[in-house]
Amino acid sequence: MAHGDWRMSFRVVGSRGEATAVNFVQPHLDDRVLVRTPTGERTEELGKRSSYTYQLEAYATHLRHGTPLPLHAEDALTTMSLIDECYHTAGFPPRPRTALPAPG
């Protein structure tokens, strides 16, 4: 992920077609989603804003209006477990753990 021109695409194939997010990690650089179905192909553009912008807006709306957040702490734990499993599968040691200092 340190390469200057890295891209990560994601392809989903279903019974009615497929969709490919061209660069889902950096939508602000390329926000295209290519959709292919038996009736044809189309390209959708979802908006070239950083994903952090959406996160910040959701948090601000939560603070201002009490709107529920789209993700919860359990989602973060699931993501962390997935990352740890990726490290394990790749043969790397787990990421080092750090402890927060006790409030004082």
Q: What pLDDT is recorded for position 101?
A: 80
User: Does residue 57 share a domain with residue 38?
Assistant: no
Rounded distance, CA 41 to CA 78, Å? 34
Query: Is residue 4 predicted with pLDDT exceeding 80?
Result: no
Q: Is residue 31 part of a domain?
A: yes
Task: Provide the domain limits for residue 88.
Answer: 52-92
Same-domain status, 60 and 39: no
Residue 97 within a domain: no
Better-predicted residue by pLDDT, 13 or 24: 13
Mean of pLDDT over the chain: 89
pLDDT mean over 78-90: 92
pLDDT at 76: 87
Q: Are residues 57 and 81 in the same domain?
A: yes
**Measured CA distances, 28 to 31, 53, 54 (Å):** 6, 10, 12
- Give the pLDDT of residue 3: 64
CA distance 71 to 14: 25
What is the C-alpha end-to-end distance of the chain, expressed in Å? 37
Q: Does 13 share its domain with 44?
A: yes
26/56 same-domain check: no
CA 22, distance to chain mean position in Å, is 13
Whether residues 32 and 58 fall in one domain: no
Task: Say whether both 88 and 64 belong to one domain.
Answer: yes
Of 81, 52, 57, 53, whose CA–CA distance to 67 is shortest? Answer: 57
